[in-house]
């Protein structure tokens, strides 16, 4: 059970909620803050004061005063008109994250919603009712309006949801579970959709998957280092301490530990003086990506606990101010940084694939084929890796450098943060496939060298991965192997026990189905 209070939600907790379906609970003190902010809204309505989002129109229509009898209708029309997202739906895991993050933001007590709203969001999480939300249509300011409107529809008993592995009309699930649709009151519609929870939800899932990718990348590249009889001297701690980046130092240390005991790695001058950059510069390149990942984590954990509504009800209800906390620029920049960092992991991985398959760059069988010429082996796998990294280069173009005016130029600068987050998720998916290709090639090369000569750590990875993808004894449809191994590396069944064990001084191993 994860207790939400609007202030202390972490990525580790989000991993439990979204990947392990941990339930959530509302902190009592936060519920009292919600009640207090709601009383302020009700006083405004009662006194007839004019306040944006409570009894005015929205965006360019903010100067239009809404009659008191139309205040509730205003919220209904707001959600229905803004629920115009298009494209494929977000993955169910992202939808779950959006519900949690929206609830956590409302629990800060700055939004003026009734406690029924946050309690229903809590029910959706615990009953595993996840809104089906189109992934396209957000500018990232005024927040993720279109995606969050599809979330808000579900509270009203409208739209569609994922439930028990299927997609149903929300009203069908509500009837089955005897849940009553909520009629939104003053400000509640705006409070539900003014925020960055779509881009942040995608960002959180991206971070979790990117962190695992980066860890596995260190491991797979260590196997490639062995398979190519790479020079271990380049990972000497003094080299990396001389530069000073902690992330670079840690990658070098991991590679040394992962290759410890190997009879395949070589030493400077033994076979060659220097390796190519794709081997020699693993700590420098991977380490720089780890820096981007750390930056992303910092920004996400701030945004996960941020008040992104407008207007905000502050100073215990005595101050109501319109601002711009819904603007997604911090997350837009973070996602663009993540895109570049992960793209580079795939780029250098593809270069190692080339060194593994190119007979002009190694002394292995050409393209790792069992019968070069008659059989092509891993030749076209390198083509696929090259295609994926080239696609990543186009996706890595920063979304945040673009902006376009909306709402009759009232909203004249937007973040495109959700586009950046969506593109980052595609890059991560592509990178897992590139890494799967490197692993297939490294395992095959390791067999030619002699698996018995490998380090215990890399041998454990070879043993586990061989239960997913068999050795190449004859050309086959390698598409299946790449997809299956990519899912295995990315999936929940791949437990990075090695990383935990390493930090505790234990041995490396990997659990597998």
Helices (H), 259-378: 277-280, 282-303, 329-357
Residue 486 to residues 352, 432, 458, Cα–Cα distance (Å)? 17, 6, 18
User: DSSP for 98-155?
Assistant: HHHHHHHHHTTS-S---HHHHHHHHHHHHTT-EE--EEE---SSSSSHHHHHHHHHHH
Using DSSP's 3-state secondary structure scheme, residue 359 falls into coil
52 carries an active-site annotation: yes
**Interacting residues of 480 by C-beta distance below 8 A, sequence separation 6+:** none
Nearest to 144 by CA among 336, 330, 415: 415
Q: Which of 57, 79, 151, 71 is nearest to 407 (CA)?
A: 57
Element of type H or E holding 89: strand 86-89
Q: Measured between alpha carbons, how far is 134 from 91 in angstroms, rounded to an integer?
A: 10
Cα distance between residue 141 and residue 412, in whole Å:
9
Alpha-carbon dihedral sign for residues 181, 183, 189, 191: negative
Marked catalytic residue, from 52, 245, 448, 509: 52
Find all residues with CB under 8 Å of 225, minimum gap 6, and list them.
Answer: 232, 255, 259, 265, 279, 282
Helix (H, G, I), strand (E, B) or coil at 194: coil
In which residue are the tokens 């598409």 written? 479
Catalytic residues: 52
């Amino acid at each position: 059970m994860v207790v939400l209070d609007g202030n202390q939600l972490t990525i580790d907790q989000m991993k439990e909620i979204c990947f392990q379906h941990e339930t959530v609970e509302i902190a009592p003190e936060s519920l009292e803050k919600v009640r207090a902010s709601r009383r302020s809204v009700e006083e405004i309505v009662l006194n007839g004061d004019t306040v944006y989002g409570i009894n005015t129109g929205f965006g360019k229509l903010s100067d239009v005063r809404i009659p008191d009898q139309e205040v509730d209708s205003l919220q209904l029309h707001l959600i229905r008109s803004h629920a115009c997202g298009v494209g494929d739906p977000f993955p169910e895991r992202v939808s779950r994250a959006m519900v949690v993050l929206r609830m956590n933001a409302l629990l800060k007590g700055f939004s003026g919603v009734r406690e029924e709203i946050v309690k229903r969001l809590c029910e959706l999480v615990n009953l595993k009712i996840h809104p089906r939300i189109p992934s396209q249509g957000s500018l990232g300011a005024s927040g993720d309006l279109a995606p969050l409107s599809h979330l808000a529809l579900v509270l009203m008993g409208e739209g569609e949801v994922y439930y028990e592995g299927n997609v149903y009309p929300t009203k069908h699930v509500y009837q089955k579970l005897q849940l009553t649709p909520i009629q939104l009151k003053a400000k509640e519609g705006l409070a539900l959709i003014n925020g960055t929870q779509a881009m942040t939800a995608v960002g959180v899932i991206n971070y979790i998957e990117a962190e695992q990718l980066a860890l596995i990348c260190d491991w797979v590249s260590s196997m490639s280092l062995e398979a190519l009889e790479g020079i271990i001297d380049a990972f000497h701690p003094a080299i990396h301490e001389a530069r000073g980046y902690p992330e670079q130092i840690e990658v070098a240390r991991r590679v040394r530990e992962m290759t410890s005991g190997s009879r395949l790695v070589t030493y400077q001058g033994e076979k060659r003086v220097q390796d190519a950059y794709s081997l020699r510069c693993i700590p420098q390149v991977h380490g720089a990506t780890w820096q981007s990942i750390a930056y992303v984590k910092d920004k996400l954990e701030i945004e996960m606990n941020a008040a992104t509504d407008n207007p905000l009800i502050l100073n215990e209800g005595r101050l109501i101010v319109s601002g711009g906390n819904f603007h997604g620029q911090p997350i837009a920049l973070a996602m663009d940084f993540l895109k570049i960092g992960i793209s580079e992991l795939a780029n250098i991985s593809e270069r190692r694939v080339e060194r593994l398959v190119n007979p002009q760059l190694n002394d292995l069988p050409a393209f790792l084929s069992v019968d070069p010429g008659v059989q092509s082996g891993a030749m076209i796998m390198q083509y696929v890796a090259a295609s994926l990294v080239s696609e990543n280069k186009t996706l890595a173009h920063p979304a945040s450098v673009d902006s376009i005016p909306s709402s009759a130029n009232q909203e004249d600068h937007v973040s495109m943060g959700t586009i950046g987050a969506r593109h980052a998720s595609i890059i991560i998916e592509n990178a897992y496939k590139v890494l799967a290709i490197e692993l297939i090639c490294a395992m095959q090369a390791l067999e030619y060298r002699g698996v018995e000569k490998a380090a215990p750590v890399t041998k454990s990875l070879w043993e586990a991965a061989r239960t997913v993808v068999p050795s190449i004894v004859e050309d086959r449809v390698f598409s299946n192997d790449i997809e299956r191994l990519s899912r295995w590396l990315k999936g929940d069944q791949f437990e990075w026990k090695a990383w935990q064990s390493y930090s505790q001084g234990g041995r490396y191993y990997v659990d597998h189905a």
